[in-house]
């Protein structure tokens, strides 16, 4: 193996357990480094610039898009932009890290196309859309409209699952995590 690191991508619909799995993987695998995304949304109270996200203004974000500074980026229905900075990922790869990306389905497929065998992409799937709906409702953060938007998006995202290197169904958290951990360690 060369000295360059590799990219591990974890994708799931909103409410699919990706944040929990990401935290646990980072805790359990020392050489795994989280790729901090950029966004135009406002930081939440506990969030720190450069730790959870790089918080950018709309103009700055769009300027970076025009200069090709993102591996992938996306504009959400509410106008919020999210993206992965190419320079951050490249620097971590050169240092030999295994870089964990938390991005959407199309971004993941694009990064996989760019980096080929240097990428291992896992789709974390809910057991069903109905269970996903229950999980999102339990959060208590969704309006009727945003819940339906997220469910429509989840249905579309799930149609791409077979294009990933592995699919882990998050029915039971511990079982799903152990399966994911084994997959990542085997790739690692």
Contact residues for 85 (Cβ-Cβ < 8 A; gap 6+): 37, 38, 54, 64, 69, 70, 71
Q: What is the pLDDT of the chain when averaged over all its residues?
A: 90
Q: Are 83 and 65 in contact (CB under 8 A)?
A: yes
Q: What is the CATH number of the domain that holds 61?
A: 3.40.50.300
Query: Is residue 122, in this structure, part of any structural domain at all?
Result: yes
Query: Is residue 147, in this structure, part of any structural domain at all?
Result: yes
Model confidence at 159, in pLDDT bands (50, 70, 90)? Answer: very high
Query: Is residue 28, in this structure, part of any structural domain at all?
Result: yes
Name the CA radius of gyration of the chain, rounded.
16
Q: How far is CA 175 from the centre of its chain?
A: 20
More confident residue, 29 or 149: 29
Query: Is residue 13, in this structure, part of any structural domain at all?
Result: yes
pLDDT in tens, 10-53: 999 887 888 899 999 999 999 999 999 999 999 988 899 988 89
Interhelix angle 173-187/18-28, nearest 10 degrees: 50
Query: Is residue 1, in this structure, part of any structural domain at all?
Result: no
Q: State mean pLDDT over 61-74.
A: 96
Q: State mean pLDDT over 174-178.
A: 96
Domain encompassing residue 110: 6-187
Query: Is residue 179, in this structure, part of any structural domain at all?
Result: yes
Closest CA to 128 of 117, 120, 136: 136
Model confidence at 108, in pLDDT bands (50, 70, 90)? Answer: very high
Query: Is residue 90, in this structure, part of any structural domain at all?
Result: yes
Total of domains in the chain: 1
Q: Which two tokens stand for residue 147?
A: 């819940």
Query: Is residue 42, in this structure, part of any structural domain at all?
Result: yes
């Amino acid at each position: 193996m060369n000295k360059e690191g590799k990219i591990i991508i974890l994708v799931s619909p909103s409410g699919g357990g990706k944040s929990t799995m990401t935290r646990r993987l980072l805790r359990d695998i020392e050489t795994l480094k989280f790729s901090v995304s950029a966004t135009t949304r406002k930081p939440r109270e506990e969030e720190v610039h450069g730790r959870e996200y790089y918080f950018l203004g709309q103009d700055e974000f769009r300027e970076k898009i025009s200069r090709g500074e993102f591996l992938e980026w996306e504009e959400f229905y509410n106008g919020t932009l999210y993206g992965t900075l190419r320079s951050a990922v490249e620097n971590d790869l050169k240092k030999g890290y295994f870089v964990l990306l938390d991005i959407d389905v199309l971004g993941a497929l694009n990064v996989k196309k760019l980096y080929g065998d240097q990428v291992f992409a896992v789709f974390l799937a809910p057991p069903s859309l109905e269970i996903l709906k229950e999980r999102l409702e339990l959060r208590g953060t969704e309006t009727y409209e945003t819940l339906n938007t997220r469910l429509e998006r989840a249905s579309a995202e799930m149609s791409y699952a077979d294009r990933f290197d592995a699919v882990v169904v998050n029915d039971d958290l511990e079982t799903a995590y152990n399966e994911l951990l084994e997959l990542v360690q085997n790739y690692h």
